[in-house]
Structure 1
Amino acid sequence: MPSFKFGRKINYVSYLSELEDVVKCEQLVIPARVQDPPLPNKMFGVPLAVLRQRSPDGDPIPVVMKDTISFLSERGLKTEGIFRRSANVTLVKEVQLRYNSGEAVSFYDMEDFHLAAVILKTFVRELPEPLLTYHLYNDVVNFATVPSENQVAALKALVESLPEENYASLRYLVTFLAQVSANSEINQMTNSNLAVVFGPNLLWGRDNAMSLSAIVPINNFTRTLLNQQHLVFE
């Protein structure tokens, strides 16, 4: 069995174009017939700033987030185990391809709550830079050292330092997750459970690996953000 250290050296990519972040592609001999076709409408793995530039009205919130969250907030809030259950892998890949090809996606037609939940998590996790940004990594990991009476002010300062599209997307997501936790008696997704699911998707290290020592602080930060979201995002 490969060692943990060896596993951290493995990078998974969905497209050949993503290799450019890992290796020097100009030094590789890649046959033209297997190279990725151009994807001008690609949405997964694209910086939020680029997605905003592509938006006709400059909306800072990506279409994938709006599609999944609007559907789940209307239909899926009472789905037990939402965000904790997997979805059909083939369907997930198909939906990603449709988005990346510029096609419209309607989760209302599919009526699959877990598929929408997985697509939302996948979109956030595949951002080139985490939603909370690398710049805030140390602040988040060390957030527990902030006195409890100062934590709301510290949270506000941190999230308000984010780029506008990151702030808007984070607020949109966290406001929705507050709706999810408000139905936790039915869906079993408390803020603590949501923090465990979303913490690693909101922030990770620059080497794209999650340090075991950082998981708990990041999850605790996420839980506090969810608990105090009504004060943080006034």
Structure 2
Amino acid sequence: HNKTAVQVKEDMKKIVQIPLLRPRTVAAKHTKLFGVSLLELREKGLVEDGVPLVVRRMVEHLLQQEGLFRVNGNVRAVETLKQRLEGGEEVDLLSESETCTVASLLKRYLRDLPEGLVGSAVQQALIQHYQCGEDGSWLDVRDLLQQLPDVHHSLLRYLCHFLTLVECNHNDNRMTALNLATVFGPSVFQ
């Protein structure tokens, strides 16, 4: 009887000394964000006002940075950041990532869109519009761009707004409209 009581006391002491385990939180389900159609992301609730949440996070980070898009990010850092975001991890881009890494990640996101941001039919119509030497108004271009799926159109508008803000600060970041077109043209028009 005494021996059992002593053993129970010893066991209780050990249990009290073991830190309580935190309740297990359910790990976020791995969600592929890159190379996924915008329509699929919208169906998964990963689009807000027509813009993928991952793109919003990158753009909000980049708007605060100088020297934007001047240097490519480290390939390994870009891939790691992509995997962390797709793994559902909360990533504080401002404190955890270099500007060039986030900028490269944004370009990668656009390049990885399965059909590109501006689909081939609209792209061909735009090319034809300009090759014909049509002085057509911006209304013609707008009408062509409105042929894009709504989520593509929304992301393109968001990206153009962002790039306009970047260009407005070209004295600080050296990113003129021509420089931005050189950087983003291949990513937007595949």
Indicate whether the TM-score tops 0.5: yes
Q: CA deviation at 1:67?
A: 0.5
| 1:9-28 equivalent positions in 2, closer than 5 A | none
TM-score by length of 2: 0.78
Are 1:51 and 2:41 an aligned pair? Answer: yes
Q: CA deviation at 1:109?
A: 1.8
Q: Match for residue 150 of structure 2?
A: 164
Which of 1 and 2 has higher RCO (CA within 8 Å, sep 6+)? Answer: 2
Determine the C-alpha separation between the residues in 2 that align with 1:95 and 1:48: 20
**Largest Rg, 1 or 2:** 2
- AA in 2 matched with 1:196: T
Percentage of pairs with the same residue: 30
Are 1:190 and 2:176 an aligned pair? Answer: yes
Q: CA deviation at 1:86?
A: 0.9
Query: Partner of 1:192: helix, strand, or coil?
Result: helix
| 1:48-127 equivalent positions in 2, closer than 5 A | 48-55=38-45, 59-73=49-63, 75-76=64-65, 79-80=66-67, 82-110=68-96, 112-127=98-113
Determine the C-alpha separation between the residues in 2 that align with 1:56 and 1:87: 25
Preserved CA contact (<8 Å) 1:64 1:123: no
Unaligned runs of 5+ in 1: 1-38, 205-234
Unaligned runs of 5+ in 2: 1-28
Preserved CA contact (<8 Å) 2:47 2:53: no
Q: CA deviation at 1:148?
A: 6.0
Q: Which runs of 4+ in 1 moved over 6 A?
A: none
Provide Cα deviations, 1:82-131, integer angstroms capped at 9, x if missing partner. Answer: 22311122211111111221222221222521111111100000010110
Change (3 A) 1:186 1:148: farther
TM-score by length of 1: 0.64
Q: Match for residue 129 of structure 1?
A: 115
